[in-house]
Amino acid sequence: MTTQSEVAAPSRPRRIWQWADVRRRNLGMYAYVLNRITGIGLVIYLYLHLAVLSTLTRGPSAWDSFIAIAKSPAFLTLDVILLVGMLIHGLNGIRITLNGFGVAVGAQKALFIGLMALAAVCTAVGAFLIFTK
């Protein structure tokens, strides 16, 4: 009649990680998780940025050697990733703010799709400029 298989006991950390579990979820949840991931990424970037700027205190040679690295294609790719994160977080932030003020609540999905399309276009343009200019 029955066959048995073990499952892990539900624990507190597992429950908290549900916020990142997008299985069987919808567009709003994808936006929510995307916003958190980009948010965490941008916070990490902020500290990296401050650390890099602090090389200025060690004189022009330290700064110039960093700039040399910053011009490499691998580093420029990181710039594009940063641009994607900023665009997703910033544009989705506009959607969340509007909705949070009770504006365009019924259009949250359309707003997300539209703003993410805008993010994709801006990323393409940005990437082109980053690698060609």
Partner 1 sequence: MAIEVPVRMFRYKAGGEPRFETYRVTVPDDANVIDVIEMVWRQDTTLMYRHACHHASCGTCAVRINGYEKLPCIVPVKEALRGRSEITIEPLRNFPLVGDLVVDVAGFFQKQIASGLVITRPAEATLDGARYQPVEVFNESGGLEARPYNRFENCIECGICISACPTMAATDKFFGPAGLAGIHRALQTTDDAQKKSLLLALADGEHGVWRCHSAWECTEACPQNVRPAEAIMALRRELIIHKVKTLFGMGARR
**Residues lying near partner 1 in the complex (CB under 8 A):** 1-10, 15-16, 18-19, 23-29, 31-32, 96, 99-103, 105-106, 108
CB nearer partner 1, residue 22 or residue 46: 22
CB nearer partner 1, residue 47 or residue 101: 101
């539900």: which residue's tokens?
10
Largest CA distance in the chain: 77
Element (H, E) at 54: none
Which residues, in sequence order, are CB contacts of 58 under 8 Å at separation 6+?
Answer: none
CB nearer partner 1, residue 42 or residue 127: 42
To partner 1, the closest distance from the beta carbon of 12 in angstroms equals 10
AA identity, residue 51: A
CB nearer partner 1, residue 72 or residue 114: 114
To partner 1, the closest distance from the beta carbon of 29 in angstroms equals 5
Phi, psi of 72 (to 5 degrees): -70, 150
